[in-house]
Structure 1
Amino acid sequence: MAFLECRFFSESLGLSCSMNVILPQATRGQIGMKGRVRGKKHPVLVLLHGMSDDHTIWARRTSIERYAADLGLAVIMPAGNLSWYQDMASGPKYATFFREELLETARSFFPLSERRQDNFIAGLSMGGYGALYLALTQPEKYAAAASLSGAVDVANIADGRDEHWRTVMRSVFGDFTKIGGGASDLFAISRKLVRAGVKLPAIYSCCGTEDHLLLGNRRFAAHATKLKMPFTYEEHEGFGHSWDYWDQQIQRVLQWLPLKR
């Protein structure tokens, strides 16, 4: 695998951005790894970080490079900062960046597939919410999306904790008491898509039974089941909001992705 860190200027954000990129490499000489290349253009997984981390965290806390090596899969790990992957009420337009610039810019640098069936997105915690939000607001772009311990019920966690938390959430969502039923609410977005008959990406969601976000994940799973969305939900006994769980589950996600094996 080739591992690169890229910096580039974003027009929609008006600032310099960072992303780490893992690219497939056909090789037999790397110890413990079997490199694979599928064709001229690689399938892509966009992998999002959580609220307390940055674009480097997946490579530092998991073996994502090793896990992806024999799949012939490119992995893009961009910086989303504290944006919740939204066009912020008091900040840059991150949703616009992720929808309109990220993949297009990456494709200008690297041979990445434009086909829907080759593009996937996943994330943990804030990034789990972001992965589902971006996939459901652009269902024509992604074939599959995965949330690991995702903050998927954002309307019910925005107004809580301490004043610092509320300040951050106001900077992103503005009046966060109005998230429920609005344009940032996964429940409302998915309900609207299903009623309109839109083809949805396949969705995988998981959460540990000791995670503080468990109830929100259960609520969204019940919602998705009721709507008959293409949805897989798993709970895992004894795990909390931690990297030992996410390192394990990103391997599950990679096996779940609809890649030709």
Structure 2
Amino acid sequence: MALLEMNLFSDSLGMASSVNIILPEILKKSIKSEQDERRDFKTEYPVLYLLHGLSDDHTSWIRRSSIERYAENAGLAVIMPAVHRSFYTDMAQGQDYFTYVSQELPRKLEKIFPLTTKREETFIAGLSMGGYGAFKLALNFPEKFAAAASLSGALNIGEHVTSKTEAGELYEEFKWIFGDLEKVKNSKHDLFYLLKRLKGRQAEIPELYQCCGTEDFLYQDNLKFKKFCSKNNIKLKYEEEKADHEWWYWDKKIKSVIDWLPVKSK
């Protein structure tokens, strides 16, 4: 495996940004000569976009989990972008992180690295804010992602942002991110709305994986999402156990996610 930190200028953000990349070593097929070597390389790898939480950055998964080892065993490329505290949103007063992660970054990386462009080999996952982001991107672009996973995700944004009591210290920050908070519910930011919209269109919904610790402050929101999927006959793999909002749990569960993904090279 190769671990790279890449710095690039983003047109969507209007500034430089960083992304960490785990890349499998190129696997050679039978090589007849030096001239044939490049065309005999395996040139496309399944890819997992792995998203960080609110207080983390693009280095957190590398520093605090064994993601590199898990990805190596699966032959999986992993892309970990920095989005700061944006909630993976084109911010009302800030940068366009939703556009950056969903469109610009994949286009640029696919030109540089041997990453697949096939839906069936493209996946997304994240923890906390990143769990919300993973479902948000997958449900807005179901044609791009075959599967999405949320670990202890902040899945009920549509309701929380409108209440000062529930949003707490994030209430004013949410205004910077989402703008008019009364318009978040039943919009592209609302996971429940996105699922209902896909269901109504009879569109193909990505495979969904959800887990949360029973001691987590987001546990009740996760239960609500699970019950919503069950009520609407939406396929969802759900797991829970005694855990809080903590890294030992996310390290354990990201391995479960990778084992669950339909990665052909495993």
- 1:139 matched residue in structure 2: 142
Deviations 1:58-100 (A, max 9, x none): 0000010011112110000000111100111111111111221
Q: CA deviation at 1:225?
A: 1.5
- 1:5 matched residue in structure 2: 5
Q: What is the CA–CA distance in structure 1 between the aligned matches of 2:214 and 2:67, rounded to whole Å?
A: 24
Structure 2 residue 63 is the aligned partner of structure 1 residue 60: yes
Q: Which runs of 5+ in 1 are unaligned?
A: 28-37
Q: What is the CA–CA distance in structure 2 between the aligned matches of 1:49 and 1:119, rounded to whole Å?
A: 18
> 1:1-261 maps to which residues of 2 (within 5 A)?
1-25=1-25, 39-158=42-161, 159=163, 160=165, 164-236=169-241, 238-260=242-264, 261=266
Q: CA RMSD in A?
A: 1.5
Q: What is the CA–CA distance in structure 1 between the aligned matches of 2:120 and 2:167, rounded to whole Å?
A: 42
Q: Does the CA-based 8 Å contact 1:201-1:230 persist in structure 2? A: no
Q: Does the residue aligned with 1:70 lie in a helix, a strand or coil? A: helix
Q: What is the CA–CA distance in structure 1 between the aligned matches of 2:103 and 2:183, rounded to whole Å?
A: 26
Deviations 1:227-261 (A, max 9, x none): 2222111111x200000110100000000001123
Q: CA deviation at 1:182?
A: 2.1
Q: What is the CA–CA distance in structure 1 between the aligned matches of 2:173 and 2:105, rounded to whole Å?
A: 24
Q: What is the CA–CA distance in structure 2 between the aligned matches of 1:116 and 1:161, rounded to whole Å?
A: 36
Q: CA deviation at 1:183?
A: 2.2
Identity of aligned residues (%): 47
Q: What is the CA–CA distance in structure 2 between the aligned matches of 1:163 and 1:244, rounded to whole Å?
A: 26
Q: Which runs of 5+ in 2 are unaligned?
A: 28-40
Q: Does the CA-based 8 Å contact 1:206-1:235 persist in structure 2? A: yes
Q: CA deviation at 1:26?
A: 6.0
Aligned residues: 250
Q: CA deviation at 1:163?
A: 6.2
Q: What is the CA–CA distance in structure 1 between the aligned matches of 2:7 and 2:17, rounded to whole Å?
A: 5
TM normalised by structure 2 equals 0.90
Moved more, 246-255 or 87-96: 87-96
Q: CA deviation at 1:157?
A: 2.7
